[in-house]
Amino acid sequence: MEWDWAFVIQILPTLLQGVKITILATLLGSIVAAVVGLVIAIVRRSKNRLVSMPMGFVAEFIRGTPLLVQLYFIFYVLPDLGLTLSPLVAGVIGLGLHYGTYTAEVYRAGIENVARGQWEAAKACNLTPFQTWTRIILPQALPPMIPALANYFIAMFKETPLLSAITVLELMNQARSIANYNYRYIEPITLVGAFFLVISLISVIGLRWLERRYGRIG
Amino acid sequence: MAPANAAPTIEINGISKSFGSFKVLDELSFKVAPREKLALIGPSGSGKTTILRILMTLEGIDSGDILIEGDNLYRMPANGGLRPANEQHLHKMRTKIGMVFQLFNLFPHKSVIDNVTLAPMLTKGVRQAEAERHAMELLEMVGLADKAKAMPAQLSGGQKQRVAIARALALSPKIMLFDEVTSALDPELVEEVLNVLWRLCAETDMTMLLVTHEMGFAHDFADRILFFDRGRIVEEGKPEEIFRHPKQERTQTFLKKIIAAGHRV
């Protein structure tokens, strides 16, 4: 089988449609994971065990089961319970929840790295718990975590082909349908690999920059 | 000096506190008069710092009562009785109390002036211009007006501690708690912080509680000394009595050790 440049040019627009969806799913999934992780981390710190224990259980459950199973559950099982989601929305929620349980650990470590004296000083300044979180703790905890969070978002990006299993027309899905339709695999699948590689490399360069910028505090 | 028969600013009635099986405070009671300067001394682990932390609500108590200007700190009135204080009650009570820590605990991501203006703006709704004007006055008083725009990491330990004092003063508390505020400083930086405390003493009428190992300073500064050991007050009195004529053997041993360690009395 020979590499056919004419075929490459013919399928490129369709694949780029897929790239757009892949990037969109990654960005939205990252936002969901960033928020979900923060909520998990804060709730798990609660002194009220009736709150922190169930959250811990849910987080461990999500982390302990495969993303693919979760995607199937969200997209194919939830409709039976009355919740029907579009493929992309289901995919973004799946990615976000799954990676949220990982980013929660990043937040936990980052929050624990803030000196205990900062909580005490905030209390002595009579700040409310909300003000303490938003003005004192998170502004110190977040910058050092940015590289670790970005790492997970790159990992999430490389897992987006799983969304093809729930019919999201992302890059992998587009490539596969092109391949199935034309009985040619070499160009579409190679191009998928190349797209992922290029975007990953760009992301890693960005990550290095973030590490230099935010890797240390003070 | 405090008037002898005024209603106490702080009244501590039989409080106990344990960390696990270790009893830090054991049925402790004492009163502090308005404007009184009280020094708490004693060996480490004797419970003196824990008292300050309890007054600042950083630690709770297991039993007993604390009254701040007549209001119960850890209990609030409800249906004719008392029930454990909620966050709202503690928030209200904390407006009367400020604290300066051994390790300064400045907010490292905020400039010096923002450290001082943050709490008044957030907790009292003071406008920025007004908060900054007041902050500059306070920084002037601690001798750091020229450092207003600096970040805490750029300051020496002594300067950090003076900013921390300005930050605590910005909320105009009636009671100030000083927890070993010079213990983490290089010896040559201790003086500049103690000088600020002297100024506070002369220029304000705050009630001040001071946990310290600076016996010379405690002697000159305090109206009264409490000597702690194992969660109890072993001896109390005027500085002159405690330092020159300690009655209890425990106090005598402690002071001898401190002097042997090179502290001036």
- Can you tell me the distance from the alpha carbon of B78 to that of B84, in angstroms, rounded to the nearest whole number? 9
A140 CB neighbours in chain B (<8 A) are 107-109
In a domain, B55, yes or no: yes
Q: Please spell the DSSP secondary structure of A32-98, one letter per residue.
A: HHHHHHHHHHHHHT-S-HHHHHHHHHHHHHHHTS-HHHHHHIIIIIGGGGT----HHHHHHHHHHHH
- Structural domains in chain B (count): 1
Judge whether A142 is closer than 8 Å to chain B, CB to CB. Answer: no
B117 CB neighbours in chain A (<8 A) are none
Across the interface, which of A118, A124, A128 has its CB nearest the CB of B168?
A124
Nearest to B55 by CA among B88, B98, B16: B98
A123 CB neighbours in chain B (<8 A) are 56-58, 94
Give the closest-approach CA distance of A138 to chain B in angstroms. Answer: 11
Give the pLDDT band (50/70/90) at residue B5: low
Residue A215 has pLDDT above 70, yes or no: no
Instruction: Kindly provide the ipTM of the predicted complex, given to two decimals.
Output: 0.92
CB–CB of A121 and B98 under 8 A? no
Mean pLDDT of chain A: 93
Q: What is the pLDDT of residue A55?
A: 94
Q: What is the pLDDT of residue B261?
A: 76
Report which residue type is found at A17.
Q
CATH (domain of A60): 1.10.3720.10
Nearest to B123 by CA among B192, B171, B159: B171
Which residue range is the domain that position A105 belongs to?
5-214
Q: State the burial class of residue A23 (Cβ atoms within 10 Å of its Cβ: 0-12, 13-18, 19+).
A: middle
Locate the chain A residue with the closest alpha carbon to B178: A124
Each residue's pLDDT tens digit, A122-144? 999 999 999 999 999 999 999 88
- Structural domains in chain A (count): 1
Q: State the burial class of residue B232 (Cβ atoms within 10 Å of its Cβ: 0-12, 13-18, 19+).
A: middle
In a domain, B80, yes or no: yes
Across the interface, which of A123, A124, A140 has its CB nearest the CB of B108?
A140
In a domain, B61, yes or no: yes
* pLDDT, mean of residues A162-177: 94
How many residues are given for chain A? 218
Whether the CB-CB separation of B39 and B221 falls below 8 Å is answered with yes
Taking only residues 47 to 86 of chain B, the set having a beta carbon closer than 8 angstroms to any beta carbon of chain A reads: 56-58
Each residue's pLDDT tens digit, B94-151? 999 999 999 999 999 999 999 999 999 999 999 999 999 999 999 999 999 999 999 9
Residue showing tokens 């890797």 = A215
Which residue range is the domain that position B34 belongs to?
1-94+206-265
Whether the CB-CB separation of B177 and B56 falls below 8 Å is answered with yes
Each residue's pLDDT tens digit, A48-79? 899 999 999 999 999 999 999 999 999 999 99
Q: Name the β-bridge partners of B28.
A: B15
CB–CB of B122 and A131 under 8 A? yes
Q: What is the pLDDT of residue B80?
A: 83
Each residue's pLDDT tens digit, B39-77? 999 998 899 999 999 999 999 999 999 999 999 999 998
Q: What is the pLDDT of residue A218?
A: 35
CB contacts < 8 A (A, B)? 58
Locate the chain A residue with the closest alpha carbon to B114: A135
CATH (domain of B69): 3.40.50.300
Percentage with pLDDT > 70 across chain A:
98
Q: State the burial class of residue A91 (Cβ atoms within 10 Å of its Cβ: 0-12, 13-18, 19+).
A: buried
pTM over 0.90: no
